[in-house]
Amino acid sequence: MSKTVVILGGSYAGLHIAHALLKNEKDLKVVLVSKNSHFYWNIASVRAIIPGIIKDEELFGSIEKALSRYPKDRYEFIVGGATASDFAAKTVTVTTKDGAEKQLSYDHLVLATGARCAGAESVPWKAAGTYEEAVELLHATQERVKAAGHFVVAGAGSTGVEAAAELGFEYGKDREVVLLCSDREVLGGDSIASNALAELKKLNVKVRTEARVESAARLPDGKTEIKLAGGGDPIVTDVYLPTFGLAPNSEFVDAKYLTDKKYASIDAEYRVKGAENVWAAGDIVSQPRAGFMITQKQAAGVAKNIGLVASGKQPTPVKLLPFDIYAVATGRSRGAGRAGSVKLLSFMVYMAKGKTLAVERMAGYIDGSVA
Ligand SMILES: Cc1cc2nc3c(=O)[nH]c(=O)nc-3n(C[C@H](O)[C@H](O)[C@H](O)COP(=O)(O)OP(=O)(O)OC[C@H]3O[C@@H](n4cnc5c(N)ncnc54)[C@H](O)[C@@H]3O)c2cc1C
């Protein structure tokens, strides 16, 4: 009898693993559970908040369509969320989109539920709910951006720098774009921080360093009042876009399988420590950091290891990229980046990333060629 692999999460990690298993492991049945019916190319969300630049169909791709290329008896796709798990009994409880509760038994379980923006403000950087909610939030953000004269992006990691740069590129000449950075330097002081800062200045983005948001409250007129730690005058803005505070989607997992920060605790083979045949990949792990190319490597490694274990062999350590590639798009013509410790020319980052924010690569997650 074929073994069942339940994959939780239908994004860069989960859908990749589903394709890899369905293509290469003919004796395994895949049950993919995802809160959203559509894959979301969230990497381009920093540009998609500006109306009229990227079409919805370039950002969202049907997961059902992605799986329909495989024989029907090889897979099941459930739109719903995992709410509880019992790793000893090898079961997961799932609440489907229409509110029904289902208990799924598995031979192998993959945690690929990623991370979400955990703050009170709704921002479209991740798809935390259904596909329909993600589209609605993106469109609502576009409407607010269109009408705004003043923007505050808070958090100067790569998402914050990219979002501020996109706003600066589009509106920097006649509207005000402020980037709040809690550290002394953007990008956590990475070696490309000064390059990114120079690019932001060219786009008229006002960068305030050592400016940590203490609170942000929506005012009756729809604007947001932001108070910074250490006092000073509050900032009132039309559109407030926090980019800090990602939290792992791991509430359905017993804390003993998680790190102190609630990420999946894994070994070198990406098995969840202390659990039998439970694997994890992507932002639920966030090691060495959250990133889609890192996620691709982890997904490939986990799929391979499930295949090995299912055929009675030993899993092997998951290999990541030989060196770190860090590329930050700064608007629709430039960027800052490095390969390992070697800095990349602004134009190279634009060509490799900023030109399209890689939206064309979503096709690989739908047609399966990613795996
Ligand atoms: C704005 C932004 C820009 C980025 N740009 C880049 C970039 O340029 N380069 C780069 O390398 N990385 C980038 N990243 C990081 C990249 O997006 C992540 O590494 C990637 O999304 C990780 O994919 P994942 O599948 O692990 O998780 P996620 O993309 O977080 O997806 C998790 C999936 O699981 C689902 N889910 C959640 N909870 C449950 C549950 N209980 N049950 C079932 N399903 C559930 C979610 O709905 C979602 O579909 C960016 C991130 C952000 C936020």
Checking if the pLDDT of 82 tops 80, the result is: yes
By the 8 A CB rule, do 20 and 14 touch?
A: no
Contact between 4 and 106 under an 8 Å Cβ cutoff? The reply is: yes
Report the alpha-carbon distance of residue 351 to residue 253 in Å, rounded. 41
Using 50, 70 and 90 to split pLDDT, how confident is the model at 1? Answer: low
Cα gap 260→273, rounded to integer Å: 14
Q: Residue 264 is encoded by which pair of tokens?
A: 């999946």
**Which amino acid type is present at position 86?**
D
Residue 120, pLDDT score? 79
CA dihedral 230, 232, 236, 241 (to 10 degrees): -30
Per-domain boundaries in the chain: 3-117+246-322+362-367, 141-243
Among the four given CATH numbers 3.50.50.60, 3.20.20.70, 3.40.50.1010, 2.40.50.140, the one describing domain 3-117+246-322+362-367? 3.50.50.60
Predicted local confidence at residue 329, as pLDDT: 98
Ligand 1: which atom is nearest the Cα of residue 246?
Answer: 53
Q: Are 355 and 335 in contact (CB under 8 A)?
A: no
- Euclidean distance between CA atoms 337 and 215, whole angstroms: 32
Q: What is the CATH number of domain 141-243?
A: 3.50.50.60
Question: Which tens digits make up the pLDDT trace of 94-145?
Answer: 999 999 999 999 999 999 999 998 887 899 999 989 999 999 999 999 999 9
158-199 pLDDT per residue, tens: 999 999 999 999 999 999 999 999 999 999 999 999 999 999
- Domain 3-117+246-322+362-367 and domain 141-243, same fold? Reply is yes
Q: For tokens 């102190």, what's the residue?
A: 260
The model's pLDDT over 230-247, given as tens digits with 9 standing for 90+, comes to 988 999 999 999 999 889
The answer, yes or no, to whether any atom of ligand 1 lies below 6 A from the CB of 124, is no
Closest residue by Cα to residue 292 from 303, 282, 302: 282
Condensed to tens digits (0 to 9), the pLDDT of residues 2-29 reads 899 999 999 999 999 999 999 999 999 9
Is residue 126 lining ligand 1, measured as CB closer than 6 Å?
Answer: yes
**Does the pLDDT value for residue 254 go beyond 70?**
yes
Q: Cα angle vertex 12, ends 9, 13, to 5°?
A: 60
Q: Is 141 in the pocket of ligand 1 (CB under 6 A)?
A: no
On the question of pLDDT at 203 being above 70, the answer is: yes
